[in-house]
């Protein structure tokens, strides 16, 4: 019998978290991985470990260089996670890359959905996100408007994260993943 938190029940594909900056991809991803007892990869953390701070990469080499590093890092993470339910949290702009879009179609993609009010305080405290320098809320809102259709199109599961603590949202996401895996199994029978 499967334990309640056994990773088997959420399927055997990598679980990829997408969504706008500060929605909680890194925090909820880590929480979910802990609940499931599976590895966690935060692609931004991998980039920082290999190349220094994200602000430093943007300032020294530009956004295009960051996006190239990011696409390679995501590809390596998905490859490493293949055949497992490893949780992978992406940066908010990673899914704009068409190669990344193709790669994550082999994963269970979770879109964390929120509104500007949810992230306003977090963004006001923000320091390390170069794309939010200056008018952080204005920039966040403009980017969300253009990226939102991409997040919606790529999502297998959409989780509303406007209310709830990180651990509550981890619990809700685990339940949504179990439902999704069960529904897929039913279709494949
Ligand atoms: N549901 C939540 N409740 C309270 N704080 C949250 C919640 N989700 C995220 N946070 C906090 O907001 C900040 C941004 O979250 P983070 O996971 O880094 O977002 P992302 O990776 O999507 O940019 C972090 O300090 C995180 O702990
Ligand atoms: O949305 C973006 O373009 C970015 C989001 C950031 O990650 P988070 O979404 O985890 O903040 C980070 O990758 C970089 O600052 C660029
Ligand atoms: Mg993050």
Pocket test for ligand 1, best of 17, 20, 22 (most atoms within 8 A of CB): 22
- The better pLDDT of the pair 110, 189 is held by 110
pLDDT of residue 31: 98
Which helix (H) or strand (E) is 182 found in, with range? helix 166-188
Q: Is the pTM of this model over 0.90?
A: yes
The pLDDT of 55-70, averaged and rounded, is 97
Quote the CA–CA distance of 10 and 120 in Å, as a whole number: 32
* Alpha carbons 22 and 123: distance in angstroms, whole number: 7
> Is 129 touching ligand 2 by the criterion CB < 6 Å?
yes
Q: What is the ipTM of this complex?
A: 0.99
| Number of the ligand 1 atom closest to the C-alpha atom of 23 | 22
Closest residue to atom 15 of ligand 1, CA basis: 24
Dig out the tokens for 114 from the structure: 């929120």
**Mean pLDDT on 93-107:** 98
> Of 12-21, 86-95, 100-109, 120-129, where does mean pLDDT reach its minimum?
120-129
| CA end-to-end distance (rounded Å), the chain | 20
The answer to whether 57 and 66 are in contact (CB under 8 A) is yes
Domains in the chain: boundaries: 12-182
CATH architecture entry for 12-182: 3-Layer(aba) Sandwich (3.40)
Instruction: Summarize pLDDT for 34-62 with one digit per residue, the tens.
Output: 999 999 999 999 999 999 999 999 999 99
How confident is the model at residue 1, as a pLDDT? Answer: 43
Over residues 142-153, mean pLDDT: 98
Tokens linked to 179: 């439902």
């Amino acid at each position: 019998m499967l334990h309640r938190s056994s990773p088997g029940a959420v399927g055997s594909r990598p679980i990829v978290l997408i969504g706008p900056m500060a929605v909680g991809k890194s925090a909820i991803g880590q929480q979910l991985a802990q609940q499931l007892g599976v590895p966690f990869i935060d692609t931004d953390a991998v980039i920082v470990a290999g190349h220094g701070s994200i602000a430093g990469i943007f300032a020294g080499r530009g956004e295009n260089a960051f996006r190239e590093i990011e696409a390679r890092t995501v590809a390596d993470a998905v490859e490493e996670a293949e055949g497992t339910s490893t949780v992978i949290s992406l940066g908010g702009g990673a899914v704009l890359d068409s190669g990344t879009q193709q790669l994550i179609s082999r994963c269970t993609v979770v879109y964390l959905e929120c509104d500007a009010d949810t992230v306003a305080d977090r963004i006001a405290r923000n320091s390390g996100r170069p794309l939010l320098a200056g008018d952080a809320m204005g920039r966040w809102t403009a980017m969300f408007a253009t990226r939102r259709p991409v997040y919606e199109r790529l999502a297998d599961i959409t989780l509303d994260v406007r209310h709830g603590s990180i651990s509550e949202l981890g619990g809700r996401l685990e339940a949504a993943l179990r439902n999704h895996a069960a529904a897929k199994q039913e279709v494949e029978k």
